[in-house]
Structure 1
Amino acid sequence: MSKSAVSTDAAPAPVAAYSQAVRKGNILQVAGQVGIDPATGTVADGGVAAQTRQVFANLRAVLDAAGATLGDVVMMRAYLTDTAHFAEFNEVYNELVAHGGEVPPARTTVYVGLPAGLLVEIDALAVLD
């Protein structure tokens, strides 16, 4: 079973040697997405809430390019730069992953250093039909 790269101009282009997502069989791993608007190349203005919304826009764009949706995601890993951002991040996250009663994905949240004003990054693992 071979693997294939997924890419879209509707999410920020990789800045190193990695794919926006890779599919092998019915497994799709989406690389970490950050709060950069792909149209402007700038970080979303408005703190962790605005960046989280942009992250989800980017995740959805990559999932869509692979023929998937947030409903196919079984695991997300969230990376925050500051523990003080957790409550605000979690509020937006909960709003964006609530799918009318669908089971939310499993999630891990860790605190890390991210480059150049980025406050949040999320990657996703999806299982496709």
Structure 2
Amino acid sequence: MTIADQVVFGADGLVAAIAQQHDTGEVLMLAWMNRAAIDETLRTNQVCYWSRSRERLWRKGEQSGQTQRLVALRLDCDRDAVLLLVEQAGVACHTGRRSCFYLQADGAELHEIAQPTVSREQLYGGA
């Protein structure tokens, strides 16, 4: 039995995956994985997700170079969520921020608590 065999996937075949910096605990991003993404991640130790918009496997950093090396993969108690402890190279967010979680609620307002450290042009060559 593989690790992916032990994951409870949703009706769409996906499971939520949270990427967290292994040594600081910083939450970097949330994405989705299918069985193939989990298998690929465990096989290569390079994090791979399922892109819902592209409808294909997406290896983190394949365009931007901002890769995630897997340190550990954990399942929650219900086995329906994945926690990826990673070594993040560069920024995790496509907006050029270290973390995708840069918007903080203040009453009814959202405030940016982190500015981009890398431009989209630097990440994706103007794409």
- Provide the TM-score with structure 1 as the length reference: 0.27
Which has the bigger relative contact order, CA under 8 A and spacing at least 6? 1
Q: Which has the higher helix share?
A: 1
Q: Greater CA radius of gyration, 1 or 2?
A: 2
TM-score w.r.t. the length of structure 2 is 0.27
